[in-house]
Amino acid sequence: MSGKNFSLTLITISAISYFVSPVITNTALVLAQQKSSTSSVGKDDTRTLSILSIPAGLKVYLMPDTGLTDTKGEEWIQIATSHPSIDQRFYKGTTPVVLQNITSGKYFLGITPLKFLDRTRLSEIDETLPVKAYVSSSPIDPNSTNTSGAVIYSITKVDSIGQRFIVLATPQDMILDSLDSVYPTKSMFSFDEVKLAKELTEDKRITSVFSEPEIQKTIALLRRGGKVRLVKSNRKVIIEILPDGKWATLKIEYVQKK
C-alpha cells in the first residue's frame, strides 16, 4: 500500500508457532473461549462464532458473502459510501459477542466505528484479516484525522469447530505504552508466559528493537487481550493467542518508510 504521504515496503515476514494453553477468566470472554475451543465443546458448539476486539465495544455486522467484488482497491484506497452488510438486519451486537448457529461458509464481517486518516492511510484496521471493503458515509477530508467508517473483513466459518476472531482496532502506529489504556484491565488469557518470553528474548530481530521491559509489557497485554500489535522503529510484531488451546503465532515484519 503506498501513497503520497506514506508507504511501507515489506522486506520479510516470519512466523513462529509453539504450544500454549489459553484460558479466559472474564465472564463475557469465558463464554467466547468455551464456544471456540475444540477441547471442551460439544457437537452443537461447532456452529459458534465469537468476535472480540481491541478495544471492546465495537459494533459487529455479519452477512453471508454473496460474492461481491472487492472494493478495497490497491495502492489507492477505494472507500465506498455503503455496503450491504452494514444493515440493521445483520447487526449482531457489540464486542465481545458470541454468535450461535453460524453455519460453515464465507462471511462479511463488518466492524464499526473505525477511523480513516485519508485515502492513502488507514488507521484502525487489522492487517492480519483479509479486507473486502472500506465504507464511510462521509467524504474523506484530507485535512481531518477524524473521518470514521467501517471495515468489511472476509472470514470463513468452518463446520468442524467453534471459532473466535480477535480484531485489532487500535491505530497501527500506536506505541506500546499507549496500548495499556485500550486493553481490558483484568487478565483474560492464561498461557505459557515463560515460554513465550523466552522465544521473544532469544529472537534478535525483536531484542534489537524491543527491550526486556517492553517484552514483559507485551506478555501482560496478551494476558489481557489475546492479541497485540507492537510497532517501534522499523519493526512491526503481531502476536495472537489462538482459540484452539494449543498454540500461538508470532509474525514479524520489517518495514521502512520511504
Read off the C-alpha cell for 190: 492464561
Where exactly are the structural domains of the chain?
Answer: 8-257
- What distance in Å separates the CA atoms of residue 171 and residue 55, rounded to the nearest whole number? 11
Q: Where are the alpha helices (DSSP H) in 57-201?
A: 176-179, 193-201
The pLDDT assigned to 70 comes to 58
Those residues of the chain that have pLDDT short of 70 are 1-44, 68-77, 116-122, 139-146, 243-250, 255-258
* pLDDT, tens digit, 9 for 90 and up, residues 184-216: 999 988 888 998 999 899 999 899 999 999 999
Axis-axis angle for helices 193-201, 212-225 (nearest 10): 140
The pLDDT assigned to 8 comes to 25
The pLDDT assigned to 255 comes to 64
Cβ count near 165 (within 10 Å): 24
- Amino acid letter, residue 167: V
pTM: 0.77
Contacts by 36-42 with C-beta closer than 8 Å and gap 24+?
36/161, 36/162, 36/163, 36/164, 36/243, 37/162, 37/243, 37/244, 37/245, 38/161, 38/162, 38/244, 38/245, 39/244, 39/245, 41/161, 41/162
Q: Which residues pair with 4 in a beta bridge?
A: none
The pLDDT assigned to 19 comes to 28
The pLDDT assigned to 47 comes to 86
